[in-house]
Structure 1
């Protein structure tokens, strides 16, 4: 087993960090958020560092300013527009469901439901009750339930100061922290451990870069495309499809299905339906062209593995589990690949491990 010590050491570290995150969530969450933000914006930090001729402090300060600008635009420009469309959509939902109900009742209620001995009138009443319930969901209550109990005002104020400070720390001393971690390992595996960490970093950074770039493209392209086709809530649909794009197939269908429903029952024209199909089909084609361009190398992550990681993460850890599941899977793949390469090499040379 000694030949696999580097893989075991790194994998154990990842497992321990995940366990600490869930067991000590309130205490370590600022560190998790800050380290994640620092990692995501490290390429920008590198750009500023090069531009300022190695001035690490100025580069970190500039990176924090850029992060602040992104947060400001998100909080005060993008999210208010999104929430406004969410409120409008919830208000409009009963009308949309009435139109959908009329088609379902006419098509299925009079034919298929009777053929299979379903009570068509009862089905009709269920649909009416459903859209009446949905229509009574105010967005204010929905959002308050979503966020209530997550953060207190005090913790928010503390984190507003702590997280930027920690982010600055991770940006300026991240390399030193990594070197210190490597030195905690047995000396005979330190070089191998560093090489393995480089592989994990390459895989994770490549994956995240591709996902962020493609998510932005999908969100913008679908929002503009659906707006041109005159589909209601184009920005909301594009935003949701972009955010969910990291989960294979989920982002695509979460945008396509409501767009087709709105095209068919709100616009009510075949041209709108065809327009929606053209927008989504061209988006898929362009995404397949763009994704390889923004990837520094192929991560080799199977879509089924991503789906499995997402479902397992959600089941085991709720929303936080969903957030970290795919990145953890992406980090684990190079570790297991290294393990298998050594295993195959051991078999080929007749070693016993």
Structure 2
């Protein structure tokens, strides 16, 4: 018996390791689905405050859900039909300008212009020959990369549709999910758990609305300002500013850098335009960091600035963009649990 115990212990430990590895592999295979579900729940919690607001205005639950879903879908379709055609039109204009420019000069003239710009320190013809040779030698790899990029775009559109459908489903079923979750908690602790869960879900919802408000503010102001200064493709870059601002902490600065670089590439002979754009985004980032974001986010999640930075960096490192999005409300939930659960227990000891 004494000989068998170590063997059994080792066998069980080995089986446990195998089971843990199998579970890890399954989670890895389901990472995309888990991301879709997490994003949908996150967005559903963002729509829930609107539903609750309508319910407080004496609307029944089903009517509040219907109004919220119709408004959300209407906003999505409206943005699609208002912004996407403009983006496509301006992107097509950019492509046509590039085509017209390339067709107006010969390859030799282009190389001579580049050579005169860089001087005699670099032989542009040799560099061009090396680039052509590299493309010829790696044509299969480049073609595969282009195909992979196309598949990423298709998967992104497919994923957005799935997230939209799941969001609508979770928004309609959120109360049922909450009630089912509360039933799993012992009856003596159910009321406290339900109260804490409602506070957390409300905090997440306010955070989503606040982040969307910041992104919308950046997008609208960017479009107005870029149109006033005569920047190229204002709708495209305003849309980039909106999407980038949805990412907390680093989104605004990343979008601003992309916009300024885009203006430098499109308007190399108009430094006043992209310098003005750079100054504007420097001022706007200060305004957002010290005025807009504190007033909106402090009311939404009430998380100290240091914890916001640490949470966003940690979430982005672990789960990418989704992690950066959910990190701040998760930090708010942890702080809420500490204040209402951990600290009271410590005070009773």
RMSD: 4.6
1:66 is matched with which residue? 71
Structure 2 residue 267 is matched with structure 1 residue 266:
yes
Q: 1:237 to 1:347 in 2, by over 3 A?
A: same
Hey, what's the Cα distance between the residues in 2 that align with 1:283 and 1:205? 25
Q: 1:176 to 1:148 in 2, by over 3 A?
A: closer
Hey, what's the Cα distance between the residues in 2 that align with 1:70 and 1:22? 34
1:331-342 counterparts in 2 under 5 A? 331-337=329-335
Hey, what's the Cα distance between the residues in 2 that align with 1:276 and 1:127? 37
Q: Secondary structure at the match of 2:303?
A: coil
Cα deviation digits, residues 256-308 of structure 1 (max 9, x gap)? 34425524761523432342133213322432322233332423342243133
2:86 is matched with which residue? 81
Hey, what's the Cα distance between the residues in 2 that align with 1:124 and 1:306? 46
2:46 is matched with which residue? 40
1:129 shift after superposition: 4.8
Q: Compare 328-337 and 217-226 and name the one that shifted more.
A: 328-337
1:200 is matched with which residue? 200
Q: 1:31 to 1:309 in 2, by over 3 A?
A: closer
CA contact (8 A) 2:232 2:266 kept: no
1:305 is matched with which residue? 311
2:282 is matched with which residue? 281
1:220 shift after superposition: 1.2
1:178 is matched with which residue? 178
1:59 shift after superposition: 2.0
Cα deviation digits, residues 310-339 of structure 1 (max 9, x gap)? 23213xxxxxxx33x134423432454356
Cα deviation digits, residues 54-91 of structure 1 (max 9, x gap)? 32222222222212211211332222322443454466
1:247 shift after superposition: 3.8
Runs of 5+ consecutive residues of structure 2 not aligned to the other structure: 1-22, 103-109, 136-141
Structure 2 residue 324 is matched with structure 1 residue 326:
yes
Hey, what's the Cα distance between the residues in 1 that align with 2:309 and 2:186? 36
CA contact (8 A) 2:49 2:205 kept: no
1:114-129 counterparts in 2 under 5 A? 120-121=122-123, 125=127, 129=131
1:42 shift after superposition: 2.2
Per the normalisation by structure 2, the TM-score is: 0.65
Q: 1:308 to 1:193 in 2, by over 3 A?
A: same
Structure 2 residue 217 is matched with structure 1 residue 217:
yes
Per the normalisation by structure 1, the TM-score is: 0.65
Q: 1:173 to 1:275 in 2, by over 3 A?
A: same
Hey, what's the Cα distance between the residues in 2 that align with 1:20 and 1:291? 35
Hey, what's the Cα distance between the residues in 2 that align with 1:312 and 1:174? 27
Q: Secondary structure at the match of 1:41?
A: helix
Hey, what's the Cα distance between the residues in 1 that align with 2:209 and 2:46? 8
Between Structure 1 and Structure 2, whose CA radius of gyration is higher? 2
1:48 shift after superposition: 3.2
Runs of 5+ consecutive residues of structure 1 not aligned to the other structure: 1-15, 115-119, 315-321
CA contact (8 A) 2:46 2:207 kept: no
